[in-house]
Amino acid sequence: MDARFSGHRVARRHLAGPLDLGHRLRDRPVLHVARRGKYLWLVLDGDEALLVHLGMSGQMLVSDPTAPDQPHVHGRFDLDSGVQVRFVDQRTFGGFALAAVGADGIPDPIRHIARDPFDPAFDASATAARIVRSSSGIKRLLLNQSVVSGIGNIYADESLWLARLHAERPGDRLTRPAVVRLLGSARDVMAGALDQGGTSFDALYVNVNGQSGYFDRSLNAYGQAGRPCRRCETPIVREHFMNRSSFSCPRCQPRPRASG
């Protein structure tokens, strides 16, 4: 593998800078690729990995090396197969760094990131046990990457709609089986999204081949404010949530009563 980076921000987590990072990757084999949450890592020789953080808009796109550059290309990886992988990031929140890999195969800087529902070692029962001990709202817990990773704002709303739970229901007011079912709903929602190529609201969100997904056509809650709920026809409502938005059905997902 040969790698080239442009701009300081793409390698700001590698203190020696982008030129040094490219030099240290030259001719090194990629043993395999793994991911957790918004992080990818390319496992290299010498118990080291190239850690990739996608940020808000980062993409790893499989490209023909002779094809014109996409906008906002900040990294190129030339593989022995003749394929070029390009790192495209409009907002430049993403980037690369070398990291030591532990015996469990996890890079040290992301050891705090929890497993996601697709991970073969994900333990839904153990995750549920942690959630029901917390007084935080269930959506905050779904978005807490140290509890469970990979769900995100859109799929949290869709999972809660499917499970008929309001975002503000405290974790400690749910049973462990109910949370296990919710985590199963999250996996089902994301599996359905993957089958449809993901959720693309604009050209910024595409798959590795540059193709847009169409799961936005199947959304039941997120972005559906004012439209009838597909279960009960009550209009979906939008609420402010952590500088974002939450969408839910006020009938299917009633707001929890205040405790005490």
DSSP assignment letter at 101: B
DSSP assignment letter at 218: G
Which of 88, 110, 132 is the last residue before a domain boundary? 110
Give the Å distances, CA to CA, from 185 to 56, 127, 213, 234: 24, 14, 20, 21
The structure tokens listed for 252 are 């299917």
Is there a contact between 5 and 86 (Cβ–Cβ < 8 Å)?
no
Give the Å distances, CA to CA, from 166 to 154, 186, 198, 227, 251: 14, 14, 24, 18, 10
Furthest CA-CA distance within the chain: 66
The Cβ of residue 255 has, within 10 Å, a number of other Cβ atoms equal to: 13
Interatomic CA distance for residues 31 and 14, integer angstroms: 21
Instruction: Output the pLDDT for position 74.
Output: 95
Residues of the chain with confidence (pLDDT) below 70: 197-216, 259-260
pLDDT in tens, 56-94: 788 899 999 999 998 899 999 999 999 999 999 988 899
Residue bearing tokens 């430049």: 92
User: Is residue 243 domain-shared with residue 128, that is, in the same domain?
Assistant: yes
User: Is residue 74 domain-shared with residue 13, that is, in the same domain?
Assistant: yes
User: Is residue 37 domain-shared with residue 148, that is, in the same domain?
Assistant: no
Instruction: Output the pLDDT for position 203.
Output: 52
Is there a contact between 193 and 213 (Cβ–Cβ < 8 Å)?
yes
User: Is residue 28 domain-shared with residue 66, that is, in the same domain?
Assistant: yes
CATH number of the domain enclosing 207: 1.10.8.50
Residue 14: domain span: 2-110
Instruction: Output the pLDDT for position 200.
Output: 44
Interatomic CA distance for residues 28 and 143, integer angstroms: 35
User: Is residue 81 domain-shared with residue 164, that is, in the same domain?
Assistant: no
Which of 44, 76, 110 is the last residue before a domain boundary? 110
User: Is residue 105 domain-shared with residue 199, that is, in the same domain?
Assistant: no
